[in-house]
């Protein structure tokens, strides 16, 4: 998910079909509505957040639907800006000694998916790219290549003299 897609999410874009949860992305780069599945652990946190907002601000489901999920003010219904998102992520990065940005996270996810065995086409679709060449740029090819080369090396017993 791109930063703009994340920041424009409202609770009405948080959908359930059968036992699956999705975000409906409406301001996509392609201009098309896209449905992205949501991981179970995030669903649990979103449900807790919904309950908190409804209780704290005396909202019903209809009122909540129009609220931005990531906002600077629930009462004013102001979406979080990219600058604020970037500042939050940079502050989180400082806690772990890393210089990160929202875009770095997309690159890291692409690399991790590749290292975990995901196909380039799956990663392309997950990131919403129209061309695998763009996806290849996102994947840290050098680290993947080094890992694959190391896996091909024969076992070496260093304990024997």
Q: How much is the pLDDT for 28?
A: 81
Pair (110, 56) in one structural domain: no
Q: How much is the pLDDT for 161?
A: 56
User: Range with the lowest mean pLDDT among 4-18, 44-58, 115-129?
Assistant: 115-129
- Containing domain of residue 52, as a range? 1-79
Q: How much is the pLDDT for 141?
A: 62
Pair (62, 135) in one structural domain: no
In a domain, 85, yes or no: no
Q: How much is the pLDDT for 61?
A: 94
Pair (56, 130) in one structural domain: no
| Overall average pLDDT of the 78-90 stretch | 95
- Bridge partners, 35 (sequence order): 24
Q: How much is the pLDDT for 54?
A: 96
pLDDT tens-digit map of 26-75:
878 878 888 999 999 999 999 999 999 999 999 999 999 999 999 999 99
Q: Over the range 56-92, which residues count as b (16 or more CB within 10 Å of their CB) and which as e?
A: eeebeeeebeebbbebeeeeeeebbeeeebeeebeee
């Amino acid at each position: 998910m791109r930063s703009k897609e994340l920041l424009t999410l409202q609770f009405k874009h948080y959908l359930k079909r059968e036992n699956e949860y999705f975000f409906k992305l409406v301001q996509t780069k392609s201009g098309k509505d896209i449905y992205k599945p949501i991981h179970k652990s995030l669903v649990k946190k979103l449900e807790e957040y919904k309950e908190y907002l409804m209780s704290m601000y005396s909202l019903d489901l209809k009122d909540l639907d129009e609220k931005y999920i990531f906002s600077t003010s629930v009462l004013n219904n102001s979406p979080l800006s990219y600058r604020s998102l970037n500042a939050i992520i940079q502050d989180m990065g400082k806690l772990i000694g890393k210089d990160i940005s929202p875009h770095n996270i997309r690159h890291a996810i692409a690399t991790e998916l590749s290292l975990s065995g995901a196909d380039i086409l799956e990663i392309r679709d997950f990131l919403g790219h129209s061309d695998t060449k763009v996806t290849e740029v996102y994947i840290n090819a050098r680290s993947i290549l080094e890992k694959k080369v190391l896996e091909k090396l024969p076992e070496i017993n260093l304990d024997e003299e």
